[in-house]
Amino acid sequence: MRRLLRKKEIKLNGKRVNSDLTCEKGDLIEVYTDISSLPAPVFSDENIAVFNKPAGTLSEDFYLSVKEVFPSALAVHRLDRNTRGLIVYALNAVSERELLAGFKNRTFRKFYLAEVVGSPSPAAATLTAYLYKDAESGYAVVRSSPLKGYEKIKTAYKTRKNGEFTSLLEVELITGKTHQIRAHMKFIGNPIVGDEKYGDAAFNKSRGIHRQRLQAYRIVFRFGKDSPLAYLDGKEISVPEEIDL
């Protein structure tokens, strides 16, 4: 409602208004919004809702749209602006607690598709490194050995297909630090295609690519038998694969 007021999409007695007003019996309120533009959930029940966030949309902005579909929705994690794919919301305080714990304790399995420059060697591996994110620039740096301020990260990948200049990987995010996949792939010399922050700028420019080729396409939930969400244990949710060579 605040967004609609801000955009003057609400009329009170025929006049557009942009702030809360006290209404009286008999007043006519008209609201102008296109509900066809609202996102549809990939999965939902009384406790959780899972959506497919488009690339180029901030998680915070997408959350506002989700709130129009599920007013009780609570954000429990996020995706980078240019990463498309699955994003999960709690629909009540109990599920919020359980989902936050699942993401924090890394009990959920999260899988991504990524097109990277070159061909990783070996073709499949579980990588361990250390990541530091600069608070001012928002840039993440990865190194192979621990250093004060750096946090341990783990990223697993396996190569699905090799092209002439790029490869398609399935990546499992074992830890979940900001920009982890993007920074880790850059660190091993195989940056995400189209990544404007960690990618190969010359490669992207030569091919006219401006949007990173990274999709959160599958998630598997894990809950203990005593959890209120135990009925979702082992539940796998996925969206159609949008990235290929």
Provide the annotated active-site residues.
Answer: 80
The CA-based diameter of the chain, rounded to the nearest angstrom, is 72
Cα Rg, the chain, nearest whole Å: 21
Give the C-alpha separation, 29 to 231, whole Å: 43
Among the listed residues 173, 190, 171, the one whose alpha carbon sits nearest the alpha carbon of residue 124: 171
Tell whether the torsion through CA atoms of 179, 183, 184 and 189 is positive or negative: positive
Edge-to-edge strands, sheet with 10-12: 15-17, 10-12, 29-31
Angle (CA) 163 164 165, round 5°: 95
